[in-house]
Amino acid sequence: MSIAIKRVLVIANRAKEPAERITEEICRELQQRGVTVEVFAFCGKPVDPEIDHYDLAISLGGDGTVLYASRLVCRHQIPILPVNLGDFGFITEVAQNEWLQAFERYCSGKIEAGRRLLIHVEVERDADSIASFVGLNDVVVSAAGISKIVKLNVELAESSLGGYRADGMIVATPTGSTAYSAAAGGPILHPEMEAMILNPICPFTLSHRPIVLPPNEVVRIHVEQNQRTSVMMTVDGQSELTLEPGDVITVRRAAHSAFIIRSDRRSFYEVLRSKLNWSGGPDA
């Protein structure tokens, strides 16, 4: 089934050298086809623009640009075509010289936008909500200092997992399973699975292990009293908040999903094999 594309939002990371050239190419090509194109270009930390109705968003940059784009457009359920302007990322599977082919194949219904689970993160302090975030990759609670252990207590919806003494705690989505969580020894999940990963970072108790949770689980992380260091929280490595003892971080599935257009030139497993340098031979 063909998909009519009338309005496109280009989200371009100007820190990437080819961004301006590819943006001009996209605008020229799509406008010739009668498509209205609006461009939001940024360098550094962006200030969120007002989002209207668009049929498609094209992300120009790397995985970090897609993370930002997903949070920006998720409430409007706008699919994202992720175009990579550097090395292939785990999310950005479309090369810069493949964007038009991917666009045409999406419009003709030959490739689809896969649904990705997002997490909603809320921070409570003295029983009041002080901040909330949406993430495509993960939320990380960790020490703000170097090589400091933090004390956290973790509860699920129906039970307590008890106290953790660790460098921190990651709650990751399947999309984020190839990011910090993988570096911390967590499992890699297919990005379109529906699940969450609870992964302690270098736990002091060696019996603590990563846990894969069902998608509707609710994780509550309590920052215990008497910390030896300051504690901070980051979402997708892009939004951060300094925490205080007694704060409670609640992580659950977000109300909306992200929709990321797949490449039919390479699969997730091919990207995984390439990025992680799996040779499949005796030296693997």
Euclidean distance between the first and the last CA atom of the chain, given in angstroms as a whole number: 42
Give dist(CA 173, CA 120) in Å, integer: 11
Angle at CA of residue 18, ends 64 and 260, nearest 5° = 40
Q: Which amino acid is at 104?
A: E
DSSP secondary-structure letter at 210? Answer: -
Q: What is the tally of helices (H) and strands (E) in the chain?
A: 5, 17
Longest dimension (CA), the chain: 63
CA separation for the pair 153, 211 (Å, rounded): 15
Across-strand partners of 155? 160, 220
Q: Tokens representing 250? A: 């609640």
- Residue 36 has φ and ψ, to the nearest 5°, of -80, 125
Tokens of 14: 């100007």
Number of Cβ within 10 Å of residue 214's Cβ equals 11
Active-site entry in 63, 138, 167, 247: 63
Integer Cα distance of 58 and 60 in angstroms: 6
Confirm whether 63 is a catalytic residue: yes
Taking alpha carbons only, the member of 2, 88, 72 closest to residue 38 is 72
CA distance 107 to 105: 5
| Distance (Å, whole) CA 191 – CA 122 | 23
Q: List active site positions.
A: 63
